[in-house]
Structure formats: C-alpha cells, structure tokens
C-alpha cells in the first residue's frame, strides 16, 4: 500500500520502393461504443492499505466510504454498485500483487532460434537486424504452426511479442507466393499503425506493400492506396467495412486473416462488422486469433470462424510478474487530484500512463495537470487521427512525462520505458485492468501499477 504522504510502497515486494501496377478492387460506418456519461471531477479522498478481505462492491469496509462514480452496474453509464453485467465484479485485492523479485529466475529455453525457422533468408536477415535472436514463448510455439498454414489461437501475456508471432510467418507466406493477401483486424487505429510499422521494419527492400485502413484518417487516401496491389491490409472493422461498401476492398481475395485483440473488438461493439467482413471471405481460409485474454464470447467466435485450430497458451498468469501492483486509497478528507499531484512529483514517476473512463474526463485531467506544471498529453476517441499520433509520439519520445488516456491506449501498444500505469478511474472489467497495466513492465523490465480507490 501507499502511505498517506505518497511515498514508496511498503514492503518488498513504407511502404517499400518500386513501381507497382494498379489493381482496382471490387467497409459500413466506423463503429464506436458510446462512453460512460460524465467527466472528470475532483473527489474527496489519500492512500493507505487494505487486504484481500476488502470489498469491491462499493460498500463500506476496510477501504472506507463507497466509490463515487467508480464501480458501475449494468451497462456503461448505469447505476452504481457494481461493474457492468458482462462479468463479475472485481475483487479489489486483485489490484494488489507485488512484483516477483528473486535472485535466480527461471530462464525460458526455446525449442527454436529464429535462424532455425523455415523462412526465407532475406527475412531471417531482417529479423536479426531488428534485434530478434531468441523467440519469446508465443513466437517459439506459434510460428511453426502458422508456417504450416494451420489455424491458431494464441494466448500470451501482453508485451510478449504476439505481433511478430503472426507477422513473420505471414511475411514468409507472401514471399513464397506474392499473390497472397493477408487481412489483419484490430480494435484501435494506434494498434493498426503499430503493426503496420513493424511490418515495414521487417520487410525493407522486399516490395511487400500494405495499407493501414483506420477511422479518423482520410478515407480518400486509403481508397487511393487500395487501387494498387497490397499484400497486407491492416485496419479496424468499421473502416474495413466502409471501404468494402465503397468497392475499394474485395474480401473474397483474402485467404488469410488475423484477429488481434478480438475480445476488445467485441467490447467496442464491432461484432457485427467483424462478422460482416469474415462472411465475405473465402470459406477455405487461414485464420489466426491472438490475444492476452480470452472471453466466453470469443470462444464462440472461434468455433464459428476457425477450423480445428491449434490452441497455444503461454500465459504465466493474468498479469506480468514484473509489475508491482498496489492501490492508492483516497480518504474522505483528501482531494483525489492533490493525491495524484503528490504521486507524480515522486522522483521515480518519470514516464506515466494514466487511465480515465471518459473522453471528457481524460481531456480535463490533462488540462489540469498542465496547469499544475506537468508536461502531459492525452489520447481518446474525440481526438482526430493526427492529434492522437502526435500525442503518442511525444510520449514515446519522452517529450512529455504523462499520457492521459481512455482504454483506447490499453491494448497492444508498445511504448518503451513506461515506469508507472495509474488507474485514476477504475477499469470496468478485470480484463481491461490486465491490458492497462500491461503497458508497463514490458519485455522483462520492472514496472508499477497503481489503482485509485475512493
């Protein structure tokens, strides 16, 4: 727990170059889920401890007075008293988990090296140039099956290299047959852009082309790029559906599809768009699912979309052992903003990602932090594409200390050296919590996650 003065936790604990021939192609509307109503408002409340007996239902108990505007029941924006009905309420004790610090750690011994995989030599060279030598567990287990053309369901902790686990074998597929077309569906534009960037870093000089089809960016430019042959289209379901309806994409030409973070796509209301896109693809196709969590709804989709998939799970627990997790209790006589201010002034809080529930609340919190002298930016659904990318770049480059975000930044983003994740507003599900705190402690580095309870 954090003590009342805000000290440290107690206890241990390019597209490539070259001329291309035009290839005209013969998505609906961008689907976004409405956020919870309301915005940021300072609430009373400092911090101290609790135990596994503390309640998570908003009632009084070891954590003091009920949460104000935090735990919500039913659908988004519903009454207080519990989380939305899609899952059980979160036991607050699940927000407390000390990082594992041992003198001797078990070292993963892969069955393969990247040099051992049956992939083209130029691709091997690019992989090694990128700094990949030893596969992560999900890469070690999944790549051989993807290379064989088998459907795969891959579950692994966030920050363990799932993107390369499907990109490397699919790039090899395209090298072997340049007529292959691969579709990658993701929940957010930031994740799509990140995957597209990693694809370009793995394929310089290969004349492998891609289009990033996401909402918020000019659709006319995407339609222009889609007139040419592209081996990879990476996009969000709503924009993909819109482009298909404008006859810029023919999904019947895609025999390979990746659904990355599919559970989040369901949460964001993309299920109809996902089914629309998949329904237009060939019945005989190569389908891959990759995620850090797997919900019951996704299990149903797997039965509908995949054929005899290989299931691979290399999770070592819901959350990374390298992330120290704790709660920050805001007492009745304290101001939540002032508690956050004191925390952020700590010397170790050098690169902090703060999550809020609503777009309005996130923007207002960013403005308040700037007024208090912090360098801060924000990401949420009301910001246009360019502003979101500039904010993300500033945070990645450490031009700003703090990024305040809605859950749009909780999935898949690989931001180096995030020292802390702070849940200023409670996540609505434990799965959301897992993904939020997965932005720190990546690649074996140590990180800290703090969740405000008031």
Q: Which two tokens stand for residue 143?
A: 């790549």
Instruction: Return the pLDDT at 443.
Output: 65
CA triplet 300, 429, 36: central angle to 5 degrees? Answer: 105
Walk me through the domains of the chain, giving residue ranges and CATH numbers: 92-100+321-453 (3.40.50.300), 114-313 (3.40.50.300)
Instruction: Return the pLDDT at 112.
Output: 86
Instruction: Return the pLDDT at 208.
Output: 96
Instruction: Return the pLDDT at 29.
Output: 31
CA triplet 449, 451, 454: central angle to 5 degrees? Answer: 165
**pLDDT by residue (tens digit) across 388-432?**
889 989 999 999 999 999 987 777 677 888 999 999 999 888 878
Chain centroid to Cα 401, Å, comes to 20
Question: Tens digit of pLDDT per residue, the chain (454 long)?
Answer: 554 434 443 333 333 333 344 444 333 333 333 333 333 333 333 333 333 323 222 322 222 333 333 333 333 333 333 333 344 567 777 777 776 544 334 556 778 889 889 999 999 999 999 988 899 999 999 999 999 999 999 987 666 788 999 999 999 999 999 999 999 999 888 889 999 999 999 999 899 999 999 988 899 999 999 999 999 999 999 999 999 999 999 999 999 999 998 777 877 788 889 999 999 999 999 999 987 777 777 788 888 899 999 999 886 655 666 788 999 999 988 899 999 999 999 989 999 999 999 999 999 999 999 999 999 999 998 888 888 889 989 999 999 999 999 987 777 677 888 999 999 999 888 878 888 888 888 766 789 999 999 8
Closest listed residue to residue 234, CA positions, set 186, 294, 280: 186
Q: Max CA-CA distance within the chain?
A: 68
For residues 86 and 279, what is the distance between their CA atoms, to the nearest angstrom?
26
**pLDDT by residue (tens digit) across 121-139?**
999 999 999 988 899 999 9
Residue 174 CB contacts under 8 Å (≥ 6 apart), including other chains: 180, 182, 208, 231, 232
State the DSSP string of 9-53: PSS------S---B----------PPPPS------B-------TT
Closest listed residue to residue 108, CA positions, set 82, 137, 84: 137
Q: Which two tokens stand for residue 78?
A: 């519903």
Instruction: Return the pLDDT at 295.
Output: 72
Instruction: Return the pLDDT at 1.
Output: 53
Output the CA torsion sign for 329, 334, 338, 341. Answer: negative
Residue 27 CB contacts under 8 Å (≥ 6 apart), including other chains: 213, 235, 237, 238, 239, 240, 241, 242, 243, 244, 245, 246, 249, 273, 277
Q: The whole model's pTM is what?
A: 0.64
For residues 388 and 384, what is the distance between their CA atoms, to the nearest angstrom?
6
């Amino acid at each position: 727990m954090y003590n009342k003065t805000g000290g440290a936790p107690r206890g241990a604990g390019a597209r490539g170059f070259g001329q291309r021939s035009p290839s005209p192609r013969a998505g609906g509307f961008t689907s976004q889920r409405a956020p919870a109503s309301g915005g940021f408002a300072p609430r009373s409340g400092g911090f101290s401890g609790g135990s596994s007996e503390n309640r998570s239902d908003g009632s009084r108990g070891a954590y003091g007075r009920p949460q104000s505007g935090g735990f919500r029941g039913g659908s988004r924006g519903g009454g207080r008293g519990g989380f939305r009905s899609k899952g059980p309420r979160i036991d607050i004790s699940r927000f407390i988990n000390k990082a594992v610090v041992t003198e001797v750690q078990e070292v993963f011994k892969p069955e393969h090296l990247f040099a051992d995989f049956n992939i083209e030599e130029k691709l091997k060279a690019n992989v090694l140039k990128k700094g990949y030598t030893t596969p992560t567990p999900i890469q070690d287990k999944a790549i051989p099956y993807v290379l064989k053309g088998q459907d795969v369901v891959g579950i692994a902790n966030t920050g363990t290299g799932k993107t390369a686990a499907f990109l490397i074998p699919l790039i090899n597929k395209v090298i072997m047959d340049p007529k292959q077309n691969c579709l990658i569906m993701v929940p957010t534009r930031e994740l799509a852009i990140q995957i597209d960037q990693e694809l370009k870093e793995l394929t310089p000089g290969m004349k492998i082309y891609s289009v990033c089809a996401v909402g918020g960016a000019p659709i006319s430019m995407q339609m222009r790029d889609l007139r040419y042959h592209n081996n990879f289209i990476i996009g969000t379901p709503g924009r993909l559906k819109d482009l298909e309806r404008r006859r810029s994409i023919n999904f019947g030409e895609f025999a390979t599809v990746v659904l990355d973070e599919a559970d989040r796509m369901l949460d964001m209301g993309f299920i109809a768009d996902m089914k629309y896109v998949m329904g237009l693809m060939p019945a005989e196709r190569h389908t891959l699912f990759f995620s850090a969590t797997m919900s019951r709804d996704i299990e149903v989709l797997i039965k509908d979309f995949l054929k005899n998939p290989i299931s691979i799970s290399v999770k070592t627990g819901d959350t990374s052992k390298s992330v120290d997790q704790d709660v920050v209790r805001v007492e009745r006589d304290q101001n939540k903003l002032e508690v956050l201010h004191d925390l952020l002034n700590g010397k170790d809080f050098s690169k902090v990602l703060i999550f809020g529930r609503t777009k309005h609340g996130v923007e207002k919190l960013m403005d308040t932090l700037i007024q208090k002298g912090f360098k801060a930016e924000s990401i949420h659904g009301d910001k246009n594409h360019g502003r979101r990318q500039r904010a993300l770049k500033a945070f990645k480059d450490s031009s700003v200390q703090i990024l305040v975000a809605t859950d749009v930044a909780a999935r898949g983003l690989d931001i180096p050296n995030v020292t802390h994740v702070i849940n200023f507003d409670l996540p609505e599900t434990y799965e959301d919590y897992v993904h939020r705190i997965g932005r720190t402690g990546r690649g074996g580095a140590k990180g800290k996650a703090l969740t405000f309870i008031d």
